[in-house]
Amino acid sequence: MAIFKQKLLWIGIIIVMVVLIVFGAAMMGSVLGTKPKELPVALVVLDQPADLPTGGALAVGEMIKDKLTANTQLPVNWEIVGSEEEARVGLDEHEYYGALVIPADLSSGLLSLATPTPKPATVRIIANDGMNTQAATVVKQVLGQAMKAVSLELSNQLLGQIGQQTGGQVPVATAQALLAPIVVQEESVHAVGVNNASGNAPGLLTQIMWMGSLVTAMILFLSIQKTLAGGARRWTVILSQTPAGLAIVGAASGFLVWMASSWYGMELAQAVDTWLFLWLGGAVFFLIQSTLLNWIGMPAMAILVLLMFFSMPVLNMAPEFLSQTTQNWIYSWTPLRFVSGGLREVMYFGGLDSVSSNATVLWLIGGAFLVVLLASSVKKAKAKPNPVAQTA
């Protein structure tokens, strides 16, 4: 029982609890309990009203639009667009996770169910897999269920109307068509490719590149300390640190892309562009890590490790899935998400030409940390103890 009287034991228990709290918040706090909300989806209503035999007009497209936009339970933020081409442009520019296209002949197709040659009407759901596979899957599921509910409601209404017109005698072909008056077709754009971890490859590459850059920064930092101890001028050593690190990171990012493709079969339609952007991301990582190491020293490793663990859970999640607190305190500023987001645009949307503001942010971050890194060349070294004074 003497061991329980040791202060070190109780201090150790407290440290363990603190570690669990910190890493629990990093790995679980930001993602557990997440749910989709306000996913931007384009809604295209092209339906033209069809004249009813009894007078009036049937405008199913407008009815569907009203029902969908009034349903506050759907985790969707509808964006009404005027044409399918406009919706597809938005999908290409990663503005929407999906689109629902209601064709011009929807109402007339439904009216054909009362004729000897019924033809079910068709709507299309377009999922933007490259933007975020998880969010695109949710869009397909939510829109598919919503359209099934609308189709069932229309089925009951049309069955009653046709029954009245035919004296209760509904032809077999018409009855079969009324079971599913609206047919839903699904389409995916910007496919993520084979062996891309279900669209999570950009996040995986970002995490691996962070570790590779961190090892590079650490090796050069330790090398600098030994060089300075040998009497070299600090500013000349710091000036050589940056190009050496950027060259190593460039080679490492190229090897990582080659390894992912050759060893693990990752499909990369834009391999060279992926390498170049990953090099940019790795360079920014190296500059951040080297700056902190040069100014703070080895304690900076704790900051860098925590930054990685807090960033990892949010890299592959759509921001609409995260709580507002996580968006504001982690997702909005972590440099890893700008690299992951940029890689997603490069890999799934057509290369470097498709990169949006992520590249600009990375250049700005890299430039700022480069200045601070170079400024560490004027940092004063710690004074060494005087052996003569100690002897005296």
Decide if 206 contacts 274 (C-beta within 8 A). Answer: no
Q: What is the DSSP letter of 384?
A: P
Helices (H), the chain: 7-24, 60-70, 84-92, 106-111, 133-165, 172-179, 201-229, 234-262, 271-296, 300-311, 324-326, 335-349, 357-375, 387-391
C-alpha closest to that of 320 among 135, 72, 93: 135
pLDDT of residue 383: 52
Is 224 exposed, middle or buried, given 0-12, 13-18 or 19+ CB atoms closer than 10 A? Answer: buried
pLDDT of residue 15: 80
pLDDT of residue 328: 87
State the Cα–Cα distance between residues 199 and 143, nearest whole angstrom: 21
pLDDT 10s digit of each residue in the chain, 392 long?
A: 666 666 777 787 788 887 777 767 666 666 666 788 999 999 999 999 887 766 677 788 898 999 999 998 999 999 999 999 999 999 999 999 999 999 998 888 877 776 666 677 889 999 999 999 999 999 999 999 998 888 887 776 666 555 555 545 555 555 555 666 788 899 999 999 899 999 999 999 999 999 999 999 999 999 998 988 888 888 888 889 999 999 999 999 999 999 999 999 999 999 999 999 999 999 999 999 999 999 999 999 999 999 998 898 889 899 999 888 888 888 999 999 999 999 999 999 999 999 989 999 999 999 999 999 999 888 766 555 555 545 54
pLDDT of residue 392: 45
Domains in the chain with CATH codes = 39-189 (3.40.1710.10), 197-378 (no CATH)
pLDDT of residue 177: 58
pLDDT of residue 18: 78
How do strand 98-102 and strand 121-128 relate by DSSP bridges? antiparallel
Helices (H), 34-125: 60-70, 84-92, 106-111
| Cα torsion angle, 136, 140, 145, 150, sign | positive
State the Cα–Cα distance between residues 375 and 372, nearest whole angstrom: 5
